[in-house]
Structure 1
Amino acid sequence: MFGVEWRLVFIAKTPGCDKSSFQSLPIYGVVTRLLLLKDRMYKKALTSLTVLFFMMGFITCLNDILVPYLKAIFALTYSQAALIQFCFFAAYGLTSIPFSKLIENIGYQKGMVVGFALAALGCLLFYPAVLLHTYALFLGALFVLASGIVLLQVAANPCVSIIGPKETASSRLTMAQAFNSLGTFIAPFFGAYFILSGLTNSVYAEGVVYPYFLIAMVLIVIALVLSRLNLAGMETNAPDESTWQEVLKEKSLLFGVIGIFAYVGAEVAIGSFLVNYVMEILHVPETEAAPLIALYWGGAMIGRFIGIFTLKAFAPAKVLMVHALLSVLLLLVSMQTVGVIAIGSMVLVGLCNSIMFPTIFTLSIKGLKAGQEKKGSGLLATAILGGAVVPLLTGMLADRIGLHHAFVLPVICYTYIAWLGINHLKAR
């Protein structure tokens, strides 16, 4: 229908056309209103998705504060503390495909509303965990919270990709991810002030109750507002009769699934242990080390805003390859040095992380048929399980050889991502 409207507008703008006569036609007013309606719907959808990405980043990054906080409260080893990220990101492996099926049945908008509500429930479950002072209950609450984030991820990523031209999908998703990084930039300051500041005065975990209660209230409000918006025009009605196996047979998607696993695993492993890494090298307390996490995630935010333009100017695969190779170089420098150089090079990896997720995601689903995006998104979201596996393995390695050299696992992950970029360039 919109194709007819655009042709009519084109005719109206054609030299020699009697515009006054055309504007007098009844169809002119209808066409104008429909085009304005579509534009308003697009802006509402993109604004809603931007807020969604901000909250996802904010909540996920708070785990980097919970790791040192609960490690101190419960006197955990590195591998035990890594269970925080393991339980959070394990939700991606267990729920992504079921949630993608749910999205197929109820649509993107309702899926996002349910996701916000589920995440709010997870935040509220921190209260009984604090009352009983049980580490296992914290892990359970995190799993519920993460399940809500998974549902939001499965709905949001393909939605951003398909609401505009395919040619600018990487740039558009990078913009949305930039606001995700804004959330990750603010979260460490929030966590340091409201959570870590209570470590010196208490041996209990009550410092997390009010921050997560506040987050729950914000999520509930967002869910209510989102449920009242009319975003029906952003839904795709293309039928998808393909099986999961058929979708996964697409090599670009299969390689992308491994790429997302490697990227998220490396990024989360660094973020999870960065506070302890800074404390170990610079000999400073948690409250002084925590703001450096903000620099790590802030680099990703800046890089994503820059990436909006670089991904338009250069081939996305080439940008991905360069960022991955720089990440490998910076990690190797950090592992072989001490002091400010070791910390600075580690923090700069955040800048290189910036465009990786949206670029891998859009390159992976680019070759899928219409209607297969939901299944593809579900499989790619499942790969975020890397955020559970790689940090846990890094923690176990840190207990054996020390944290300073345990980051060899992220080096391997970024090496694969560099190969992925090279492979896409060859395919072109």
Structure 2
Amino acid sequence: MATASNSNFRIQITIIGVLFAVFGFVTWLNGTLIPFLKIACQLTAQQSFYVATAFFAAYFFLSMPSTFILKKTGTKLGMAIGLLVMGVGCLIFIPAAQTRDFNLFLFGLFLQGTGLALLQTAANPYVSVIGPLESAASRISIMGICNKTAGIVANLVFGATLLSNSEALEKQIAEATDPSVKNLILNDIASRVVTPYTLMAAFLGIIAIIIMRSSLPDIGQQTSDNEQGDTEITVGKTSIFQFPHTVLGALAIFMYVGAEVMAGDLIGVYGKMLGFSPDQSKYFTSFGLIGLLIGYVLSIVLIPKFVKQETWLFVCGVLGIFLALGSYLTEGVTAVTCLAALGFSNAVMWPAIFPLGIQKLGRFTNTGSALLVMGIVGGAIIPPLYGYLYENNIAGLDFRSAFLLIMAICYAYILWYGMTGHKIGLAKSETVKI
């Protein structure tokens, strides 16, 4: 009987591990899609950054409704629906590629983000529920490693597929004087997404079927806000916006995700501007993810046994500022290495900021969590802002100085939140003014 139970647990943890790998695979494909669509749809840099906008905006719109949807559907069906929505988003890439319609690509990306937001909301509780509570932390670590490893694989595989020989193709496009010849080249480039995204859609559909037929328990969502008690700071409160540490925490998540997307998804574009060929820069996102993976593992080892999460957040925030400065002051491989190392700095941000933002919320915990998740929209807003600043030469900023300015602001705010912001409004005697 024990053996059957252990076997069932292994099947369940494998399924959840595959789901977390899907999260990482789909999310970090943006690092390859940005330079690919820039070529295929003949976009400016700022326009290409709307790839991140379309994808991450879905989290802003779905974070609150996801909990309501899952209460109606149940978690297993909710995960299956999320996977199928992502699959439809992948299939949208087929007509988008055939017409080279960038808006259609963006719609497909928004659907992928929508499905992923629902899927993540449903899948996250399983990590704690399946298996002993005392080993939940190790399971969370395994899921994180699955996520980041899949992101690395995604960029290596899709970088080699979508951006193969892109330097020579860009030269052909630039030299083409006949519009029909130019269109043939661009159509051929755009068609590269059809097969891999069709296969992705099929894979997501298969995973949806496996989940519905699996032994995963159809767990309920976390305890509702109304079923949780008051803490010393929630008595008499009626709105999540009466908790400054949570509102400020959502802004910290906004800054963190914006900085992570800047460092991870835009590193290939940045490298190209430094003079690297597209055939070289297409792998740069994977280098950043390796840094993220190393930082993630090191954080697991150090926190909280050797260092408090607030202290580690401070260290990584300071390191992030220095690395951004290093990318500005150096050239070539050294500058790209600084950018990739930003992944290490970013690894601790989410696991440190999130618990600080929801501490002592009591009956407002679920609403507070949803508000923090809405902060992911930073990944949708900050990259296009960066493109706007340097493409329009605002205040004399070029691509390097604009990058440094935005990253410095993001990390400075995160530092402030880790040191001071997360404490505002937590004292029992403190009156919160709205």
TM-score range, shorter chain: 0.7 to 0.9
Is 2:157 the counterpart of 1:190?
Answer: yes
Alignment of 1:261-272 (within 5 A): 261-272=254-265
| CA distance in structure 2 between the aligned counterparts of 1:138 and 1:245, rounded to whole angstroms | 41
Moved more, 57-66 or 398-407: 398-407
Mean alpha-carbon deviation: is it higher for 68-77 or for 43-52? 43-52
Alpha-carbon offset, residue 290 of structure 1: 1.3
Q: Alignment partner for residue 422 of structure 1, among 392, 401, 419? A: 419
* One-letter identity of the residue aligned with 1:422: M
Give the whole-Å Cα distance in 2 for the aligned partners of 1:394 and 1:93: 20
Say if 1:41 and 1:375 are closer, same or farther in 2 by CA, change over 3 A. farther
The match for 1:365 is 358
Partner of 1:8: none
> Which residue does 2:370 correspond to in 1?
378
**Residue 73 (str. 1) matches residue 65 (str. 2):** no
**How far did residue 239 of structure 1 move?**
4.0
Are the structure 2 counterparts of residues 50 and 81 from structure 1 closer, same or farther at C-alpha, using a change threshold of 3 Å?
same
1:182 deviates by 0.9
Matches within 5 A, 1:170-181: 173-181=140-148
Amino acid at match of 2:297: F
**Residue 50 to residue 197, structure 1, CA distance change in 2 (3 Å):** same
Which one of 272, 285, 291 corresponds to residue 299 of structure 1?
291
**RMSD between aligned residues:** 3.0
Change (3 A) 1:247 1:385: same
Q: In the alignment, does 2:323 pair up with 1:323?
A: no
Once the two structures are TM-superposed, the CA of residue 306 in structure 1 deviates from its matched residue by 2.4
Q: 1:170 to 1:364 in 2, by over 3 A?
A: farther
User: Is contact 1:256-1:361 (8 Å) kept?
Assistant: yes
In the aligned structure 2, how far is the partner of 1:71 from the partner of 1:186? 22
1:210–1:115 distance in 2 versus 1, CA, 3 Å: same
Please name the residue that 2:176 is paired with: none
Residue identity over aligned pairs, in percent, reads 33
Does residue 403 in structure 1 map to residue 386 in structure 2? no
Supply the AA of the counterpart residue of 1:155: A
Alignment check: 8 A CA contact 2:24 2:147 kept:
yes
Would the aligned equivalents of 1:261 and 1:386 in 2 still touch at CA under 8 Å?
A: yes
Are positions 1:226 and 2:219 aligned together? no
Q: Scaled by the length of structure 1, what TM-score is found?
A: 0.83
1:210 and 2:206 equivalent? no
**Is the contact made by 1:99 and 1:151 (CA closer than 8 Å) also made in structure 2?**
yes
Contact (CA 8 Å) 2:165, 2:279: kept in 1 or not?
A: no
Query: What is the aligned partner in structure 2 of residue 289 from structure 1?
Result: 281
Distance 1:252 1:172 in 2: 28
Q: Secondary structure at the match of 1:75?
A: coil
- Cα deviation for residue 161 of structure 1 reads 5.5
Count of aligned positions: 393
Inter-partner Cα distance in structure 1 for 2:422 and 2:389: 34
Q: Structure 1 CA distance, aligned partners of 2:12 and 2:370? A: 20
- Give 1:260's aligned residue: 253
The answer on 1:105 being equivalent to 2:72 is yes
Residue number in structure 2 paired with 1:55: 22
User: Given that residues 264 and 285 in structure 2 are in contact (C-alpha distance below 8 angstroms), is that contact kept between their aligned partners in structure 1?
Assistant: yes
Which of the two has greater helix per residue? 1
User: 2: CA distance between counterparts of 1:36 and 1:366?
Assistant: 39
Q: Distance between the aligned counterparts of 2:128 and 2:416, measured in 1?
A: 24
Unaligned runs of 5+ in 2: 170-184, 229-236, 428-434
After TM superposition, give the deviation of residue 174 of structure 1 in Å.
4.5
Distance 1:108-1:347 versus aligned 2 partners, 3 A rule: same
| C-alpha displacement of 1:163 | 6.1
State the shift of 1:165 in Å: 8.3
* Alpha-carbon distance, 1:179 to partner: 1.8
Query: Structure 2 vs 1, CA of residues 237 and 321 (structure 1 numbering), >3 Å: closer, same or farther?
Result: closer
Show structure 1 runs of 5+ residues with no match: 1-31
- Please, which of 225, 241, 258 is the counterpart of residue 240 of structure 1? 225
User: What is the CA distance between 1:391 and its match in structure 2?
Assistant: 0.6
Letter matched to residue 302 of structure 1 = I
Where do residues 138-149 of structure 1 align in structure 2 (5 Å cutoff)? 138-149=105-116
In structure 1, C-alpha distance between the alignment counterparts of 2:293 and 2:155, rounded to whole Å: 14
The answer as to 2:304 corresponding to 1:309 is no
The residue that corresponds to 2:335 in the other structure is: 342
Q: Which amino acid aligns with 1:335?
A: Y
Pair 367,107 (structure 1): closer, same or farther in 2 beyond 3 Å: farther
Query: Could you tell which deviates more after superposition, 212-221 or 353-362?
Result: 353-362
Please list the CA deviations of residues 248-294 of structure 1 after superposition, one character each: whole Å capped at 9, or x if unmatched: 5444432321121111111112223211211222x232121111211
Q: Partners in 2 of 1:255 and 1:42 — Cα distance? A: 39
Q: Residue in 2 aligned with 1:18?
A: none
Cα offsets for 1:292-325 (capped at 9, x unmatched): 2111011111221222222241322222221122
The answer on whether the counterparts of 1:112 and 1:155 sit within 8 Å (CA) in structure 2 is yes
Contact 1:265 1:388 in 2 (8 A): yes
Indicate if the aligned counterparts of 1:253 and 1:364 stay in contact, CA closer than 8 A: yes
Contact kept, 8 Å, 2:264 with 2:340, in 1: the verdict is no
- How far off is 1:105 after superposition? 3.0
User: What SS does structure 2 have at the residue aligned with 1:241?
Assistant: helix
Tell me the distance in 2 between the aligned counterparts of 1:369 and 1:174.
26
Give the Cα separation in 2 of the matches to 1:168 and 1:419.
33
What is the TM-score with the length of structure 2 in the denominator?
A: 0.81
- Give, in whole Å, the separation in 1 of the partners of 2:212 and 2:139: 23
- Amino acid across the alignment from 2:215: N
1:1-57 per-residue CA deviation (whole Å, 9 max, x = no partner) reads xxxxxxxxxxxxxxxxxxxxxxxxxxxxxxx86x985x7766555433322121111
Are the equivalent residues in 1 in contact too, given 2:248–2:422 (CA < 8 A)?
Answer: no
Amino acid at match of 1:384: I
Indicate if the aligned counterparts of 1:298 and 1:350 stay in contact, CA closer than 8 A.
yes
Give the counterpart of 2:410 among 374, 388, 413.
Answer: 413
Match of 1:85? Answer: 52
Deviations 1:181-212 (A, max 9, x none): 11221111112111111644531211111111
